[in-house]
Structures are given as C-alpha cells and as structure tokens.
Structure 1
C-alpha cells in the first residue's frame, strides 16, 4: 500500500477497488473480501458465505474443509442471518436474537462483536447459478464497528459485488439456468404480487392444457395401387417364362407369362386322337347298319362317346389358350423377381402379379389396436415416406376396417385406406409413416392418453 493511502480511508478504498477490478479469478476476489478488508477496519475473522454451497472462503485459510465442525457451525450461523436479514446494509449481529443451538457454541468459535453484510445478486463461481439473496460476508472482532466504519464497509462491498458480477456474467440462454430462473421468479417479489403472479401462471397453464388440438396417431404406411387387376394362375401347372419385367408398363392384351406347354400339349394330342377314334367307330357302325339292323342300337352310344371326347378336347384347347396369360388392362406390372417363379408349380387361383393403372394410387396404413382412436369420415391422412422425409403425401380417409387383422410380425392392426388429394410422382411400394388425424381434444388429454390407457389396463387386471 502506498504511503498516501496509509492514513486516508478513502484512498484505501480506491486502492481496494482497483485491486478488485484487476482480480483475475473468483478465488482472488474472495481473498480480497475476507483478508484485505482489514486495511479499512479492524476484525479478527472473516467468512464469505454463498448460499447452498455454504462457506466459500475463510480468512487466513487456503482451503475450507466443509465437514469441519467450525465450518458447519459457521454455515448454520450464516444461513440463520441470511433468513432473518433479507434486506438492508451492514448490521451488527445481536446474539440474543439467534437460536440457542448457535449461541451455545458462540464463545468457542467467534469473538463477541460480529458484523453481517448481506450480498445480493451473486452467481456461484463454479456452476454460474444465481444465489439470489442467500449470500453474505461475516466479520468478527473484539469491538463493534462504528457507524462511519459500517458506511465505509458498505461502500467497499458494493464495489466488490460489482466486480464479482462482472466476472460472473449470466449466460443469455442456458438450459441449466432455467430451473434456477423459474425458482427465482416463483419465490421472488412481495407476497401479494407473488400470489397474483402464481394465480396468473395457474390460469395460463389451465388455458394451455384445455386448448383444443387434433388427436393424431402414427402408423406404418405404404403407397399401394387403388384398383389393381390381380393376375392369378388360371390352371395348375409350371410357369415356363415371363414376357415382362417387374415395374414394366404394358398395354392391354400384351403377353405377361406362359405355362409349360408340354403337359398341356400332350394331353390335348391324346384327346384329339381319342376323338378321331370315336368318330371312326361311329362311321363304321353307320355302314354296318345298312346290312345289319342290330348295329343301329350302337349309334347312340357312339354319338355320346364322340361328344365326350370332343368336350375333353375343347377343354384342353381352352387350357392351352389360357396357359398364355395376357394383361387385362394397360398399366404397370407389379410382381417379384421372375426367377423365383420360373419352374415353380402353381395352383389355380394363386396370385402371381398385379397390373396397376397409371396414377391409380392410394395410401394404405395399419393402425395398432392401442391407437385405434375414433376418426370421422373424410379424416385427413398424411404419409411421410422414408425416401422423401422432407415432404408428405396427403390423402383423405376412405375407410377403416372394423376388425383387426393379423400382421406378418404377429401383431394385430386395423387396415386404413385413403385416397390421394393430388397426383404424386412417387412410385407404388414406397413405405413410410402415416399420420391419421382424429377429432379435436384438450391438450391435456392428447398428452396423457397413452399413460392413462396403460394405467387403466394395469388396474383392470
């Protein structure tokens, strides 16, 4: 300290202020408060207390042992003083106003004269959270401080707090600080204003919870043909080859695939030979009838046999024609890999492929049983495709099945079909997530619907 400041308290205060502004860390600033305040006024012990963290710094001690009896007793004393004196400047502590649990150990830990300086608006040096009004500086000495010394001390603490706040500026936005800000807002201010603020917050929360929102459910969805022509096996046989490839555009009457012709051709040849034999027998019997009237009785039997063989031959001829399957309408061919079908025996009625007309597309979704909320006619439905997540395909509900259907994964779900509101360039077969809109419900019901359903199922067991 300079010689000019040795006897002038104001010069001492100015020099301390300069050192506070030049402090490089919170530890150095706290050291100034508990140790260098002695250049302004006499005392024997000092402690800086920061709310929830307890005693932060002690005079003449490098580090504070939080579990030490002295630190715990001092923390109890400072918490009591902070609760009793929430406003005002520096004051002399009256031990008679303190609880007996504190005063009984007073002579063991502190001198008789104690001064308490509340510190407000400080932030903790480690987590930068606000300490609100729960902070203060405690000075203990042999004699109470004079009024001029208390005024000088208050000025020094204002300067020191300004330096502390400048070193610990609050972040403009921090998720970690939100709980502390809410607690300060909830508990701060006068009692009448605090209750009005809480009432307004409660009413605002109630309005938000009762705000109507559309109840929506999510379900796996897919683009499917709306009215496809299903091509099924017309006969029992083995597929020989395909004349088209998957997703190929075909015209009406174009050949799609054909069956193995060898079995059908051999049966047709046998039927034709049998028909020729029956006709030859009939001609022979007709010639014999001219010389032998008894041969006339065989003509009816032979005519019946000819009709039978002719019907068999006609049936096999129609099967030979049906073994070459053609497209019933123009559109896109939808089926799996042809190599999985070639050489594979199929039965009559087994589905092989579909022919979907261009732009004849709709949305199919499967709503789980737990999400089967009531939906109105013409309810909106949006499909967010995995191939195009930034845009959606919108549609209008056409129907929702009344009975749940078993899915390949073993679950049960309700089939939903929706027609598109506008044409799309997305192809059939693309999958994604469908969002089905239901009726309007309060926001609180929208949030608690699934938890309430789970609780109800649990209680009903």
Structure 2
C-alpha cells in the first residue's frame, strides 16, 4: 500500500491552488467570489493591482477597494483597455503599453505599473452551459506589477482562473435560473390543487376586484386662504403715493382716510384754473359795459361766456380730482396691503391695486389647478386645504366655482383658479398657504392608477 503523500513532496503552488479552489467553492455570492479573485490571487502571483471587468457592468471589483466608482477617470480608462484586450487577445498572456492603442498607452504610466497580465473569461448566458473554446471574452482579470511576471507561474494562474470561472459560472446560472425554478414550483402546486383553490385564480380575482373598486379621483394643487369678497382700492389717477394713513391688518371704519396721492401738481393746476376763470369773468364784464354803446363788443359776449363756462368746468374737474386723490374706506373691515414704507413715494398708474378691505370672518379657499390635473369639479365638490402652518388639521371647504380659462401664474405655468367656501368658518387668518386636495367624481382604481402615466405617454406617443 502506498504511503500518503506529504506536503513536503508537493509543490507549494499546488497547495495554494487547492486552498484557493476550496475558498472558491465555499463562496455563497458572486460579490464574495469576485472579492476573492482580486485580493487572494496574490498568493499565487505577486502583483500590485488587480481589476475584474465584465462587458455588461464594466469595472466590477478592484483590489483593496470596497466599492469602485464607475464614473471615476481611472475606471473609465480601465474599461477601454479591457475592451481592447477582450477583442484582440482571447487567451491568457502578458502585455505592456506597447500592445494597446496610442491614445490608451499615453495614460498608462499615470494609472498602472509597467507590466500586466490578461486572463479572459466568458460570461454564461441563459440556456448555455458555459463558455466555449474560441468564444469572445465577455469578462476578464487584469493583474499589474512593476516587475515582469514569472513565466512558470502563468500556467498555475490559468488553472486557478479556470477553477474560479467554474464557480463563478455556477453562481451566475443559479441566479439566472431561480425565477424559472420558482415558476415551475408554482405551476406544480397549481396542478395538484383544485382550480378554485389555485393561487393564480385567487390572485387574478383579487386584482380584478381591486381594478374595478370605486375610488374618488383626487388631485393636489397649491392653495391659500383669501378674502371672500374684498373691496379692492385702486389708484384713482396717475400719481405718487404721498402718505399711508393706516397700518396693515388694521380695522377701519367707513369713510376713514386710507391713503392720499401727491396733490402738489393738482393744486398748482387748480390755482392756475382759478386765475384763468377770474380773468375770463373780468374780461366778460368789461365787454358787457362796452356793449351798451358798441355793437361790435356786444357780438363778442357769447364767445366770452363760453370761455367762462370752459374755465368753470376745468376748475370743477380739478377740484374733483383733488378730492379723489384722498382715498376713503368704502365700508368697515380689515385693510390688507404691504408695508407702508413700500408704498410711500411710489409712482402708481390709474387702476393699480394699492390695498384691499375685507371682513375677517369672510374667508374662502383659493386653489390653482394645473392644466395637467384639470379634472371635472362640480359646485359643492369637497376640498381639503392642508396648511403649511398646521398640516395635521385640514380646512374643509366646498367648490364654489372653477374658472373657465387658465391664467398664467407667477412661476410661468398656467392653471385654473378654483374658489371654495369654508364649511365651518374658523379662526384661520387670510394669507395662510398650503396644499389643497380637490375631490372629483368616483372612478375605478385602475383608472386612478394609470391616468397620470397614460397622460404622460400620450404626450410623446401618437396612437
């Protein structure tokens, strides 16, 4: 009987090869196996760097790195070198910068040492047992070192890569076959059970019920609390705001002075008009006295009387304009506007809004419905406003009207204005903003789920 072979009679490289093969068989995941390849191959052949590359994923693993960055310049350059070697060197062998294109060789010294070893492999595809002789490499291992690699170690390195590739392809086939195995197991269970007990039947029935389950069609839109029927106070004429006599959110009475425009120009024009009127009247009286004895002077009295009427009309108009320069409150309420310092000295045009007067308890919801979410909303449809200041308590309201035309918003988008009156007036103040939930008619759950994706697809695909 032959004596057992001892470690002293076996080459150390063979023992290391057996140890690495054992580790490869014990690997449970592809990631664990790839980490073993780039880091533990050093036991057979000393190197400085190792790169594991696949055609589908690029640089998968680097020696000494936990997770490589695929977008890093080093990784992108290494991918180009690996693709070149996979196309032009289908077998194991050494190479240098002289064996790659000049554009890649120019950066060789920046990233790698002088010598490299290329070990090509082929990644399995579904339905194929593995790689074949002469098949184009879809994966490969690069080993890099400063000194030339010993030629006697390359056969051992090739054998180790063959062992490692066998384990790698086994894990790849197991991962790709798992969905088919699951499907076969499910079909076997269905064949053994009655049709009404089969899981697929129950699943299809559940999906069908859920697809036709009625739900409310809802959309979200930016909303805020606004005054229900405010009185808008606008500039009565072109001018400059001289003084603001109230403060923001102040309660005012009917007839109270709110603001006034600069009257200097109006006062000057009014004074000139009064002087012109007095001159016209004096001239009329003079010609009236001359008319007693002069027929020609009598003929000019009609023209002078018309001139006096013109001056009086001008004086009345300027007097009215001066009165309009002082804006009074049309009724009691709360005055709403920006800071007074923003208005004093500001030029305004006729009809420009300066402030509003609203009742504190007359509040409603204003929402802006985007064009892409314009669902059918009937008067009285429920609206819930979730204020940013109090997102847990929704303000309940009902749709009062939806604008017919979309208008441009400050952000440049077009939307439909929606006004909704509060169900129960609360203590919320005007100006609070939030998100409004608008509830439309009932639709099926399937329509509710596919409405937005289908609308997006129809914008790009003509059916």
Normalising TM by the smaller chain, what interval? Answer: 0.5 to 0.7
What is residue 308 of structure 1 aligned with on the other side?
310
Q: Kindly tell me: are residues 396 and 252 of structure 1, through their superposed partners in 2, closer, same or farther at Cα, counting changes over 3 Å?
A: same
Q: Aligned residue for 1:443?
A: 445
Q: Name the SS for the 1:391 alignment partner.
A: strand
User: 1-side partners of 2:187 and 2:357: how far apart?
Assistant: 67
Q: Match of 1:410?
A: 412
**Residues of 2 paired with 1:366 and 1:414: CA distance?**
5
| TM-score (ref. length: structure 2) | 0.58
Equivalent of 1:219, from 209, 218, 221? 221
Distance in 2 between the 1:273 and 1:247 partners? Answer: 44
Question: Once the two structures are superposed, what CA deviation does each residue of 1:178-234 show, in whole Å capped at 9, x if it has no partner?
Answer: xxxxx9999879921697141223312321222111010000011111211111111
TM-score, normalised relative to structure 1: 0.59
Equivalent of 1:281 in 276, 280, 283: 283
Equivalent residue of 2:258, what SS?
Answer: strand
Q: How far apart, in 2, do the equivalents of 1:415 and 1:268 lie?
A: 45
1:65 maps to which residue?
23
Separation in 2 of the partners of 1:235 and 1:442?
56
In 2: Cα distance, 1:326 partner to 1:193 partner: 85
Q: How far apart are the structure 2 equivalents of 1:417 and 1:460?
A: 35
Match of 1:191 in 2: 192
**Pick aligned residue for 1:209 from 203, 211, 234:** 211
Whole-angstrom distance in 1 between the partners of 2:188 and 2:309: 104
* Mapping 1:129-140, distance limit 5 Å: none
1:223/1:361 contact within 8 Å kept: yes
Q: Give the aligned partner of residue 253 of structure 1.
A: 255
Contact 1:188 1:194 in 2 (8 A): no
Structure of larger gyration radius:
1
State the Cα RMSD in Å.
Answer: 2.9
Q: Determine which of 320, 323, 329 is the counterpart of 2:322.
A: 320
- The question of whether the paired residues in 2 share the 8 Å contact of 1:186 and 1:194 is answered with no
Q: Deviations over 1:327-361 (max 9, x none)?
A: 11111111122222211221211111111123222
The residue matched to 2:375 in structure 1 has which SS? coil
Mean Cα deviation higher: 238-247 or 450-459: 450-459
Which residue pairs with 1:329 in the alignment? 331
Partner of 2:31: none
Kindly tell me the number of residue pairs found equivalent between the two proteins. 291
C-alpha separation in 2, matches of 1:216 and 1:388: 21
Offset at residue 402 of structure 1 (A) = 2.2
What do residues 273-331 of structure 1 show as CA deviations (whole Å, max 9, x unaligned)?
11111111111112222232332112111111111111111111111111110011111
How far apart, CA to CA, are the structure 2 residues paired with 1:186 and 1:378? 52
1:184 to 1:68, Cα distance in 2 relative to 1, 3 A: closer
Q: Any conservation in 1 of the 2:360–2:429 contact (CA below 8 Å)?
A: no
2:436 is the counterpart of 1:434: yes
Compared CA separation, residues 188 and 319, structure 1 to 2 (3 A): same
